[in-house]
Amino acid sequence: MRLNPKITEKIAFAFLFLSTLVIVVPVILITIELLKNGMSVMSWKFLTESPRMGMRAGGIFPAIVGTVYLIVLTILFALPVGILAAIYLSEYARDHWLSKIIDVAIVNLAGVPSVVYGLFGLGIFVTFLNFGTSIVAGALTLSIMSLPVIITSSREALGTIPESFRESSLALGATRWQTIRRIVIPNALPGIITGAILALSRAAGETAPILFTVAAFYLPHLPKTIFDQCMALPYHLYVLATQVPNVKAGVEYGTALVLVAMILILNLMAGAIRSHFRKKKQW
């Protein structure tokens, strides 16, 4: 039996549309849920005060600050290392056996559950390197977790630079490094940054990697150095939801809303960078 192409077209369209709905509807529902329940506690005080009464009241300021610290420090660690590794792998060691092994390693690392990174961080940074439970240990753990994604997306960005640019630069007597620095990196940077931000926005919302390495259950004051512990939004949320009885419902949702908003801001930044440079790009 042959179906009328017009009918198959309709059926195909319906399936494609439904699949899209399956993705979009939960996102919309989550957002509505968060806004409906979280907006009630949202206030300047909620954002700028410490928790009170065993975290049943007050604000979430230390957790926001802690998460910002972690994000910034993770960027400082992971971005340079990730970019340099990606450059080495795709510009210098292209067909080297080592880079093929590293390729396989990276793909597999990207699939390792985040709690394993948490345990790794505990073993290496907290205990072995003796950083203790601290912001550095947490940020390093998040960096290690983000690196495979950053390296992969950076390599993709480097791969979009036409070979002819490299060739003509070399033909003009530039060394490889001069070619990379003057031609390859400036043109790949928007793509690299976009990928890195997306990797970090994922890291920012993770609980498991910071659970053993940095997160404080409750700290009334802000960290003074990067060797202090700090609170962090994802872990605070976990604590509120599982460890503290009788929390006002809005507090949990408000905390989640702030976390999601921060991640959304990161993603919007990535999108803005990408679309800004896509307009300029001509090849």
Partner 1 sequence: MRKEEDPKKPGAIRVENFNLYYGNFQALKQVNLEFQHREVTAIIGPSGCGKSTLLRSINRMNDYMDQVRTEGQIYHENRPVYGPGVDLVEHRKKVGMVFQRPNPFPLTVYENVIFGCRLHLELSRSELDSRVEKSLMSVGLWEVLADHLDQDALSLPNEQQQRLCIARLVAMNPDVLLMDEPCSALDPIATQRIEELIHELKKDYTIIIVTHNMAQAARVSDWTAYFYLGNLIEFGRTEKIFTRPEKKETEDYITGRFG
The reply to whether 172 sits near partner 1 by the rule CB under 8 A is yes
C-alpha–C-alpha distance, residues 283 and 275, integer Å: 15
Residues 6+ apart with CB under 8 A from 267: 197, 198, 201
Residue identified by tokens 């990161």 is: 266
Residues 6+ apart with CB under 8 A from 197: 266, 267, 269, 270, 273
The reply to whether 171 sits near partner 1 by the rule CB under 8 A is yes
From 5, 111, 113, 173, residue interacting with partner 1 (rule: CB under 8 A): 173
The reply to whether 175 sits near partner 1 by the rule CB under 8 A is yes
From 10, 100, 182, 276, residue interacting with partner 1 (rule: CB under 8 A): 182
The reply to whether 282 sits near partner 1 by the rule CB under 8 A is yes
Judged by CB under 8 A, the chain residues 81 through 100 that form the site for partner 1 are: 95
From 174, 222, 226, 273, residue interacting with partner 1 (rule: CB under 8 A): 174
From 19, 168, 243, 275, residue interacting with partner 1 (rule: CB under 8 A): 168
239: its two tokens: 């604590």
- DSSP string computed for 135-192: HHHHHHHHHHHHHHHHHHHHHHHHHTS-HHHHHHHHHTT--HHHHIIIIIHHHHHHHH
Closer residue to partner 1, CB minimum distance, 31 or 175: 175
Q: How far is the CB of 216 from partner 1 (least distance, A)?
A: 48
The reply to whether 162 sits near partner 1 by the rule CB under 8 A is yes
Closer residue to partner 1, CB minimum distance, 5 or 173: 173
The reply to whether 160 sits near partner 1 by the rule CB under 8 A is no
Q: Where are the beta strands (DSSP E) in 38-169?
A: 51-52, 57-58
